[in-house]
Amino acid sequence: MRINGLPPESRRDELTRYVNHSHTARVEDLADVFGVSSMTIHRDLDVLASEGRLERIRGGARAITARLAERDVRLRRHLNAHIKKQLANTAAQLIEPGSVIALDDSTTVGELGPHLESRRPSTVITHSLALMNSVATHPGIALVGLGGQYYAETDSFLGSVVVEQAQRLTADAVFVSTTAIKNQSLLHPDAEAALTKQALLKTGGRKILIIDSSKFEGSGLYHVMGLEEFDDIVIDKQLAPELLANLESLQLNIHLADTSPKD
């Protein structure tokens, strides 16, 4: 396969897809595929690595894996980005105009940011610094930022101070995501993140989970909450039929998002 004559941004998008598909790729092979010099590929890979879309390795690049991305929000924002956007498109319809909503620091929930102006909640509660910055640009939406110890790897505030602040608040709806679901429970690998999600969930009358099907049967050390305690789940249509049947048995409101790639 050869892909020639693309402008830089388009070439980098295609280069990212190529490496994600092949998992690893050498500079020389990429130069041949895209019909450019090795120096151009080196520059492209440096840009993509700085954006967190690929990982630089000696002589080439490799795809960002879920395990690696869990450690760095910059990487997580690019992992399954298309799926996250489509899930957010569906979840945004659950935001009632004039409501008070709480949003966690997950990159999936973070994709609700661009929808806030059109959905017009009265107030947003969040511990995500990225979402705080997004909400701050909308003067018609009040912002309640939960502060505490800042963690660059999640771009958010976590820990006991955040938990204490959340315990004094009430929201009409709370939107969360997590890294894994197993045995009909939300799991997370980080203790402070799990506690913060629990506290945020307790602020909401309506609990809404946004998650892609790849998170099912994953692993996580700390329990967040059982699925049966949620009111709604937004998930992609690729969920296995037997897992969908399990969700239906919990009598949740299930919202299926079409995450198939668009032509």
Domain boundaries, given as residue ranges, for the chain = 8-63, 81-257
Tell me, what's the pLDDT at 13? 84
Give yes or no for residue 261 having a pLDDT over 70: no
Give the pLDDT confidence of 44-60 residue by residue, as tens digits: 999 888 776 788 899 99
Beginning with the edge strand found earlier in the chain, give each strand of the sheet holding 232-236 in spatial order: 142-145, 123-126, 100-103, 171-176, 204-210, 232-236, 253-257
Evaluated on CA atoms 47, 56, 191, 79, the torsion sign reads positive
Which of these, 108, 124, 102, 107, lies nearest to 257 by C-alpha position? 108
Q: What are phi and psi of 204, to 5 degrees?
A: -105, 135
* Residue 162 to residue 145: CA distance in whole angstroms: 9
CATH architecture of 81-257: 3-Layer(aba) Sandwich (3.40)
* Residue 21 to residue 141: CA distance in whole angstroms: 41
Which residue reads 């037997």 in tokens? 242
The band of 109, judged by pLDDT with boundaries at 50, 70 and 90, is: very high
The vertex-250 CA angle with 245 and 255, nearest 5°, equals: 70
Task: Please report, for residues 87, 127, 132, 202, the alpha-carbon distance to residue 161 in angstroms, rounded to integers and kept in the order given.
Answer: 30, 11, 17, 15
- Report percent pLDDT > 90 for the chain: 61
Mean residue pLDDT across the chain: 89
Give the pLDDT confidence of 171-205 residue by residue, as tens digits: 999 999 998 898 889 998 888 889 999 999 999 89
Stronger pLDDT, 236 or 189, i.e. the higher one: 236
- The secondary structure of residue 227, as a DSSP letter, is G
* Residue 40 to residue 36: CA distance in whole angstroms: 6
pLDDT (mean) for 209-233: 89
Q: Which CATH number fits domain 8-63: 3.90.1300.10, 1.10.10.60, 1.10.1370.40, 1.10.10.10?
A: 1.10.10.10
* Residue 92 to residue 133: CA distance in whole angstroms: 19
Tell me, what's the pLDDT at 263? 45
pLDDT (mean) for 155-163: 92
* Residue 6 to residue 211: CA distance in whole angstroms: 34
For the full predicted model, state whether its pTM sits above 0.85. Answer: no
Tell me, what's the pLDDT at 1? 62
